Structure 1
Amino acid sequence: MRTSSPLELHRLEVPAPRHLPFAIGTFDTIGPLSRAAFPHRHTFHEIVHVTSGTGDHVIDLHRWPITPPNLGILAAGQVHHWDRAHNVQGRVLLLEDSFLLDHPQDRALLRRLATRRPWHTPAPDAAQQITALLDEMHHEFRARGTGMASILRAYLHVLLTRTARSYDRDPRPAPPTADALGERFLSLLDHPATAAGTTVAQAAAHLGVTPGHLADAVKHATGRTPGALLRGTRILEAQRLLVGTDLTVAAIARTVGFHDPAYFCRFFRRETGTTPGAFRHDSPTVPEKHHAPRDPSIAHPANGT
């Protein structure tokens, strides 16, 4: 059963005494939402390292089997849930975009990893390195010593860089690194409500450049045009709402920036090859049950995060 309201957007709730926009713990200490079986999304990024368990992790309508060890990287705004998951154990790392405010290359790399291939099965040597890095990060976070934030950012840089490097050994291409303008444009796509009714000209004006300059930068960073990426963002958000909610097609059309539901249906069919109604009916990623999300993003510190 799907929810009859738009997908809830969860915020990171970090316990005192340090209000660092970052947290790391086990699935149990992070809290019930870390294994949520209903579609949801966050204002924060999430990295999961699964060391045991069975089932599937569904990320933006793509089903990824749990075959430990797995590393999952989700950017803010991506919709996901765990389906038929049993005994999922490992570590969960949560961070707001502001945690990497002074590290734009790492922010861009995290987004690339999340959008290109959010679920990864590392080779044995890489899996050992990931485990060791997360052990160190968890220890540093719990110790809360001087310079903790800088050390955590350094470990995170190594984790993201090594993950991207491991993709180089894969037949599929490694995520590219965007330049500053391309990264700023892509950050707009992290907010579907903002991107829904935005044209390329409006995006360029928002970023203080000409549409031609924006097109060149985005093409260099992603290999695609700004228009194609904006259309893709609208389609993905519509697909998320079709699968994760019981909103009418007309309501979804308005949410993603279309005043005319009929035009939205033609746009959806042109981009996907099917109608919104058929997509909703045929989607294999709809969970059987929905439970209202009311748990905080991480557990109370008394539980030993």
Structure 2
Amino acid sequence: MTDLRTLRQPRSQVPLHNLEVPAPGVLPFALGSFDTIGPLSRAGFAHRHSFYELVYVTGGRGSHVLDLVEWPLDPPHLWVLLPGQVHHWADVSGLSGWVLLFNEDFLLRHPEDVDLLRLLAARPWLRPDRAQDRALTGLLGEMQREHRAGEAGFPGVLQAYLHVLLVRALRASAPGPSGRPAPPRAAELATRFGRLITDPGRADRTVGSFARELGVSTGRLHELVKEATGRTPALLIRQQQTLEAKRLLVATELTVRQVAAQAGFPDPSYFCRFFRREVGVTPGEFRARAGGNHHDPGVRSIDGCPAGPVPS
């Protein structure tokens, strides 16, 4: 059996949920309802996952907060959470539906599913119509029956079902920024670029460094990423760094200086200018307004973030 557990973390880190696989050969996969998966499947505190989670909400009230954005429940919703994203459930009652948990090892037979998951994660709270809802519910039911039976070859069947589920979910989602699918080369490169910029341990986050790693020129990277996403590589990098800084400010007790370092800014003063330009307030003000209040906003000047007008 696979268990969902919270790894104990110091208060300077976001709590991490992990899939506990008790023995070699046990499938790194879990499927069930919010009740059968357990109370951590609807945790009301901000946390990250070390695995992928796919949730199909069929009933309930309240909201889901994903990377600081609150999404009111109005089922049905299909949602994909990637490893490293921060989320929690807020004021929920009567929450019902399906929960799928799995890690990278479960995707080995269909490695292309990693790209499908990232595409779906970029479109939170998909709203299937009635026909799509019936199809998705039926497919999830088949997956649960296969999982419970555990007959010969069932891991491969579940992996195939998951692939079908992701493809059908994408059909139910909106088209890309241009209103039509991106060309394969552009979509592939943009997906690889998206994976790289989410690595929190990366030191060099310049467009040039990403282009070299991807084996293209800076100009070509700009062209293909813009074609696939409607945004430039530089803008996507800034948005990712801003998002990670927000996550750390709200969900940890790190000082602004420590947040700067973890978000990829060796100079905290530059980080403060960057954050104020992107968000409109200082990191300390953002933390206070978001309800963290881990530190008195008055100490922000110690970290090089004096109050004042937002720089242009």
TM-score normalised per structure 1: 0.82
Q: How many angstroms apart in 1 are the aligned matches of 2:254 and 2:99?
A: 31
Give 1:252's aligned residue.
259
User: Conserved in 2, the CA contact under 8 Å of 1:112 and 1:175?
Assistant: no
Give 2:307's aligned residue.
none
Q: Deviations for 1:115-145, whole angstroms, at most 9, x for unmatched residues? A: 2x22123222211111111111111122222
1:82 to 79, 89, 107: 89
Q: Where in structure 2 are the equivalents of 1:143-162 lying within 5 Å? A: 143-162=149-168
Gaps of 5+ in 1: 288-305
Q: Which piece of structure 1 moves more, 138-147 or 246-255?
A: 138-147
2:238 to 231, 239, 245: 231
- Please state whether the residue corresponding to 2:19 is helix, strand or coil: coil
In structure 1, give the amino acid aligned to 2:282.
T
Across the two proteins, how many residue pairs are aligned to each other? 282
User: Is residue 2:267 matched to residue 1:267?
Assistant: no
- Please state whether the residue corresponding to 2:53 is helix, strand or coil: strand
Q: Deviations for 1:233-272, whole angstroms, at most 9, x for unmatched residues? A: 1100001111112221111111111122221111112222
Q: How many angstroms apart in 1 are the aligned matches of 2:181 and 2:21?
A: 30
Deviation at 1:104, TM superposition (A): 4.2
Q: How many angstroms apart in 2 are the aligned matches of 1:201 and 1:90?
A: 44
Give 1:222's aligned residue.
229
In structure 1, give the amino acid aligned to 2:78.
L
In structure 2, give the amino acid aligned to 1:185.
F
Q: How many angstroms apart in 2 are the aligned matches of 1:254 and 1:174?
A: 39
- Please state whether the residue corresponding to 1:162 is helix, strand or coil: helix
In structure 1, give the amino acid aligned to 2:191.
E
Give 1:184's aligned residue.
192
2:141 to 135, 138, 144: 135
Q: How many angstroms apart in 1 are the aligned matches of 2:49 and 2:245?
A: 17
- Please state whether the residue corresponding to 1:12 is helix, strand or coil: strand
Change (3 A) 1:270 1:171: closer
The share of aligned pairs that are identical, in percent, is: 52
Q: Higher relative CO (CA 8 A, sep ≥ 6), structure 1 or 2? A: 1
User: Conserved in 2, the CA contact under 8 Å of 1:197 and 1:258?
Assistant: no
Change (3 A) 1:199 1:26: same
Q: How many angstroms apart in 1 are the aligned matches of 2:137 and 2:237?
A: 37
Q: How many angstroms apart in 2 are the aligned matches of 1:66 and 1:84?
A: 10
In structure 2, give the amino acid aligned to 1:184.
R
| Greater C-alpha Rg | 2
Change (3 A) 1:69 1:174: farther
Give 2:5's aligned residue.
none
- Please state whether the residue corresponding to 1:93 is helix, strand or coil: strand
Give 1:291's aligned residue.
none
Change (3 A) 1:257 1:162: same
Q: How many angstroms apart in 2 are the aligned matches of 1:262 and 1:171?
A: 35
Q: What is the CA RMSD across the aligned residues, in angstroms?
A: 2.7
TM-score normalised per structure 2: 0.80
1:55 to 62, 68, 92: 62
Change (3 A) 1:52 1:174: farther
User: Conserved in 2, the CA contact under 8 Å of 1:30 and 1:92?
Assistant: yes
User: Is residue 2:116 matched to residue 1:97?
Assistant: no
User: Conserved in 1, the CA contact under 8 Å of 2:197 and 2:205?
Assistant: no
Q: How many angstroms apart in 2 are the aligned matches of 1:97 and 1:174?
A: 29
User: Is residue 2:200 matched to residue 1:201?
Assistant: no
Q: How many angstroms apart in 2 are the aligned matches of 1:91 and 1:167?
A: 19
Gaps of 5+ in 2: 1-9, 294-312
Q: How many angstroms apart in 2 are the aligned matches of 1:25 and 1:37?
A: 19
Change (3 A) 1:230 1:133: same
In structure 2, give the amino acid aligned to 1:33.
L
Q: Where in structure 2 are the equivalents of 1:21-32 lying within 5 Å? A: 21-32=28-39
Deviation at 1:146, TM superposition (A): 2.6
Q: How many angstroms apart in 2 are the aligned matches of 1:18 and 1:66?
A: 37
Deviation at 1:7, TM superposition (A): 1.1
Q: How many angstroms apart in 1 are the aligned matches of 2:32 and 2:97?
A: 9
1:121 to 124, 127, 140: 127
User: Is residue 2:56 matched to residue 1:45?
Assistant: no
Q: Deviations for 1:183-214, whole angstroms, at most 9, x for unmatched residues? A: 222112333233x6422222223334333333
